[in-house]
Amino acid sequence: MKFGFVLPNNWGLTDVGDVVALAAAAEERGFDSVWVNHHVLNVGYIAERLDTRPYYDALTILTWAAATTTTVKLGTSVLVLPYLHPMVLAKQLATLDQLSAGRVIAGVGVGSLPEENEALGVGYDQRGAESDEALDIMTSLWSSPTADHEGERFQFTELRTGPQPRQAPLPIWVGGSGGPARRRAAHYGQGWHPMCSVSGLARRLPRMVEALEAEGRSLSSIVIAPRVATSQLPDGAAVEAFAQAGADQLIVGTTSPDINDIRRDLDHLATLIAS
């Protein structure tokens, strides 16, 4: 079992240095990856949790983490695609993959916060279709020196951009537990990244297999990496339960705004890695 640690850029910590320092600490403790959260505005349930406290930018934090580490993979859990321009995002992720010597994992999702969509002027009901088009564009730009696309929002022929990612392909992990997310992961993904319990993963995994088979793929072609909270992993038995349910990796996030609690979580998880 591999472990990833989610940096608390979304918990309103006053000192951003405390957030990024956890990346190197995680690498030292044997984690395979570090991750960042993504939202743009403090609205809805985020406003209830943070009020006006900071929610630090995902890719800025991840770039700093890349500069302070050498081996851990660098993931997003997850980028809300409808909030981001796909051509700009393709360039940002490819540049970071080059800077980090091929360590980026592009975790993506469609979002579930209507208040944020409204404030950003982004249609909520269209978010699935727009995310699919964004993935089509990004994968096209990453795989060829020139790209063509004919979609609902964007149309272009022989578009040139660069750089391309260091990795070929740059791994895409699709977040979400429902049917559309599973189908999106089966079509585009090198990883499936749901947020769920052991029982939830065990219940949904056969449906993930069905989605993969519909794309001519097998379960072995995709990484199963649920996002979980530290509280879901009190001991090694809990880790084994996730493994038995089908998880290949566990991406673990904190649920506290206190840096001392977060450091204790990191140390607790390190003991599970060591054992």
DSSP state letter for 218: -
DSSP state letter for 230: G
Q: What tokens appear for 72 in the block?
A: 């851990």
Say if CB 253 and CB 227 are below 8 A apart: yes
Helices (H) and strands (E) in the chain, counts: 10, 12
Compute the 3-state secondary structure of the chain and give helix, strand, coil in percent, each to the nearest 5.
45, 20, 35
Q: What tokens appear for 160 in the block?
A: 């040139």
Q: How confident is the model at residue 114 (pLDDT cuts 50, 70, 90)?
A: very high
Pairing mode of beta strands 172-175, 223-224? unpaired
Say if CB 78 and CB 110 are below 8 A apart: no
Q: How confident is the model at residue 213 (pLDDT cuts 50, 70, 90)?
A: very high
Fold of the domain built from segment(s) 2-167+244-274: TIM Barrel (3.20.20)
Domain ranges of the chain: 2-167+244-274, 171-225
CA dist 142 and 168 (Å) reads 8
Q: What tokens appear for 37 in the block?
A: 């959260």
User: What are 12-50's pLDDT values in tens digits?
Assistant: 999 999 999 999 999 999 999 999 999 999 999 999 999
User: What are 49-105's pLDDT values in tens digits?
Assistant: 999 999 999 999 999 999 999 999 999 999 999 999 999 999 999 999 999 999 999
Say if CB 181 and CB 108 are below 8 A apart: no
- How much is the pLDDT for 123? 95
- How much is the pLDDT for 95? 98
CA dist 267 and 32 (Å) reads 15
User: What are 146-183's pLDDT values in tens digits?
Assistant: 999 999 999 999 999 999 999 999 999 999 999 999 99
DSSP letter for each residue of 30-87: T-SEEEE---SS--THHHHHHTTS----HHHHHHHHHHT-SSSEEEES-EEGGGS-HH
Say if CB 266 and CB 29 are below 8 A apart: yes
The answer to pTM > 0.95 is yes
Q: Which residues contact 241 (CB under 8 A, 6 or more apart)?
A: 198
Mean of pLDDT values over 116-121: 96
- How much is the pLDDT for 139? 97
CA dist 36 and 34 (Å) reads 7
How much of the chain exceeds pLDDT 70, in percent?
100
Say if CB 184 and CB 212 are below 8 A apart: no
CA dist 184 and 162 (Å) reads 25
